[in-house]
Chains A and B, each alone.
Chain A
Amino acid sequence: MRLRFKRRRFGQIAIATSLGTILGSLRSQTQSQSASAQSPNSSSIVDVKLRVNGVEHALKIEPRVTLLDVLRERLNLTGSKKGCDHGQCGACTVLIDERRVNSCLTFAIMHTDAAITTIEGLAQGDNLHPMQAAFLTHDGFQCGYCTPGQICSAVGLVNEGHAKSDAEIRELMSGNICRCGAYPNIVAAVRDVLGGKQDAAI
């Protein structure tokens, strides 16, 4: 128990530290992007309305901006992560109309009529979503970078209703890569929620 507690604390510190680094690089990225955004003609910037986690946002963006970049760089929803940026790692997974998708491989402008849910929109106030709680209970992560994508993907998996066994959970979570190899604990977390176990709460 103590060991697990320590590891979790360590994980939280590591996440906080890496968040700081990410935020720092994000600031410089945003600056360089706004500079390059002036090169194409300004008429290419269009009005786009997005509904994310129940909140409407009115944005002025170029059509080429991916949903992931809007979430992270315009809406400050940095839970969704940019891993490979090519749909291969799953770190950017969000739910669009309750279906899991790679937000890096879709343009924000394509989703003006949709309900988008990110990791930030899963909890109800201070109550974690059962999948978030299950990931904590089972230590379904180490560094945490893939975790928001894993959790959104797992919520999508439950919505879809096709996974009945551990083998099927593994297969249907295969779009989410965990560099730390926390797979056994991720499967345990998903299994708990699928089985309707409520003891996932911490």
Chain B
Amino acid sequence: MQPFSYKKAGQADNAVALVGSDDQASYLAGGTSLIDLMKLDVQTPQQLVDINPLPLSKIERQAKGVRIGAMARNSDVAYDALIREHYPVLSEALLSGASPQLRNMASVGGNLLQRTRCYYFRDPAFPCNKRIPGSGCPAIEGYNRIHAILGGSDRCIATHPSDMAVAMVALDAVVQTQGPNGGRSIPLVDFHLLPGNTPERETVLQHGELIVAVDLPTSNFAKHSHYLKVRDRASYAFATASVAAALDIQNGIIRAARLAMGGVGTKPWRAHAAEKLLENKPVNQTTFQAAANAAVAGAKPQKYNGFKVELAKRTIVRALTTVGEMA
């Protein structure tokens, strides 16, 4: 691992000033993604600013929802009583990701910023447009079973690996940041970028901008929600396809719907067209199947991941069926 200098930040202002003033500096939160990639020489920051001491770990009820501090650990969010009761999809998504040890370390902010599991990205022996812009994408011509069928470009087809972010994007989460030029609120659906011609840019964050919290608004659908993850083994694996589904059902009719997918898109994938097809429709398999078809309508499968199209559809139907059967 490359050497680096290390500073602990006790206050967010201080952390932002330290990272904002040094373009080779990075924040260090739970470390489960960053340290892994530093060992692989995929990320080589020259200075780390440790933000673990920042007082940003609270999960609080607010007038219009819940605010989750950026340094709240994945396990604490997953088992939090407020989250379990009001946003079950988020608790389920978190518990389906990583392992208990990693969840005890990984932060909410860090989870949103975790890097892809594309094996070409993770191995500096290969070219990768995300790592070295313009160097090429071996995944497009190579072994691409784990790659995206939605949102890819001719520069990059890497999936976003998070489960948490898929649940949050379905819940209309809003990311709160603090940066060298002040703070802002960013709807999570606009937070991650499609790869396009610049796959090295993954989010709208500016250098030095720090995630301080994620807000989950109150809604009529969040309580009736579910996360279904399909993977190559029963536990402790990244999603081959996953679905976050939430429905507001009144008298057998869907009044509001939220649907998002993981493991198939280059960012946490909100299926807006499918949601529109669900709204004001009866709760039945015909409705769900139509939504599933719409969700993958623009899919561009690669040589080895064509199965993800059908898998995503079936995962959507099953997740929606589960939510439809909730009392």
Q: What residues of chain A have their CB less than 8 Å away from a CB belonging to chain B?
A: 40, 44, 46, 62-64, 66, 85-87, 90, 93, 99-102, 105-107, 109-110, 153, 156-157, 160, 162, 170-172, 174-176
Q: A93 vs B38: C-alpha distance in the bound complex, in angstroms?
A: 20
- Report the minimum CB–CB distance from B239 to chain A (whole Å): 15
Residues in A neighbouring B100, C-beta threshold 8 A: 100, 153, 156-157, 160, 172, 174-175
Cβ–Cβ contact A90 & B101, under 8 A: yes
Cβ–Cβ contact B4 & A63, under 8 A: yes
Q: A99 vs B100: C-alpha distance in the bound complex, in angstroms?
A: 10
Q: A100 vs B104: C-alpha distance in the bound complex, in angstroms?
A: 7
A62-B3 contact given A93-B101, A171-B235, A175-B99, CB 8 Å threshold: yes
Residues in A neighbouring B6, C-beta threshold 8 A: 46, 63, 107, 109
Residues in A neighbouring B102, C-beta threshold 8 A: 87, 102, 105, 175
Q: A86 vs B75: C-alpha distance in the bound complex, in angstroms?
A: 19
CB-based nearest B residue for A113: B53
CB-based nearest B residue for A43: B5
Q: Mark B212-244, 1 if CB is under 8 A from A, else 0.
A: 000000000000000000000011100000000
Total chain B interface residues with beta-carbon distance under 8 A? 28
Residues in A neighbouring B3, C-beta threshold 8 A: 40, 44, 62-64
Q: Mark B67-96, 1 if CB is under 8 A from A, else 0.
A: 000000001000100000000000000000
Residues in A neighbouring B39, C-beta threshold 8 A: 85-86
A44-B101 contact given A107-B35, A110-B50, A174-B235, CB 8 Å threshold: no
Please name 10 further chain A to chain B contacts, defined as beta carbons within 8 Å, in addition to the given A46-B6, A105-B35, A105-B36, sorted by A numbering.
A101-B104, A105-B102, A107-B28, A153-B101, A160-B75, A162-B79, A174-B234, A175-B98, A175-B100, A175-B101
Q: A176 vs B31: C-alpha distance in the bound complex, in angstroms?
A: 19
Q: What residues of chain B have their CB less than 8 Å away from a CB belonging to chain A?
A: 1-6, 28, 31-32, 35-36, 38-39, 48, 50, 52, 75, 79, 98-102, 104-105, 234-236
Residues in A neighbouring B4, C-beta threshold 8 A: 63-64
Partner among A44, A63, A101, A106 whose Cβ is within 8 Å of the Cβ of B48: A63
Residues in B neighbouring A176, C-beta threshold 8 A: 99
Cβ–Cβ contact A87 & B32, under 8 A: yes
* CB < 8 Å A-B pair total: 81
Q: A157 vs B35: C-alpha distance in the bound complex, in angstroms?
A: 24
Q: A23 vs B273: C-alpha distance in the bound complex, in angstroms?
A: 60
Partner among A40, A64, A106, A175 whose Cβ is within 8 Å of the Cβ of B236: A175
Give the interface centre of B38, B39, B234 by most chain A CB atoms within 10 Å. B39
CB-based nearest B residue for A41: B3
- Report the minimum CB–CB distance from A130 to chain B (whole Å): 19
Residues in A neighbouring B32, C-beta threshold 8 A: 87, 102, 105
Closest 5 CB pairs of A and B: A175-B99, A63-B6, A174-B235, A40-B3, A174-B236
A64-B1 contact given A87-B101, A90-B99, CB 8 Å threshold: yes
What are 17 A-B contacts with C-beta separation under 8 Å?
A46-B6, A64-B1, A85-B39, A90-B101, A100-B100, A100-B104, A105-B31, A105-B35, A109-B6, A110-B28, A153-B100, A156-B100, A156-B104, A160-B75, A160-B100, A170-B235, A175-B101
CB-based nearest A residue for B102: A87
Q: A62 vs B48: C-alpha distance in the bound complex, in angstroms?
A: 13
Q: A90 vs B102: C-alpha distance in the bound complex, in angstroms?
A: 10
CB-based nearest A residue for B1: A64
Q: A107 vs B31: C-alpha distance in the bound complex, in angstroms?
A: 8
Give the interface centre of B35, B50, B234 by most chain A CB atoms within 10 Å. B35
CB-based nearest B residue for A149: B101
- Report the minimum CB–CB distance from B10 to chain A (whole Å): 12
Residues in B neighbouring A90, C-beta threshold 8 A: 99, 101
- Report the minimum CB–CB distance from A38 to chain B (whole Å): 12
Q: A85 vs B104: C-alpha distance in the bound complex, in angstroms?
A: 17
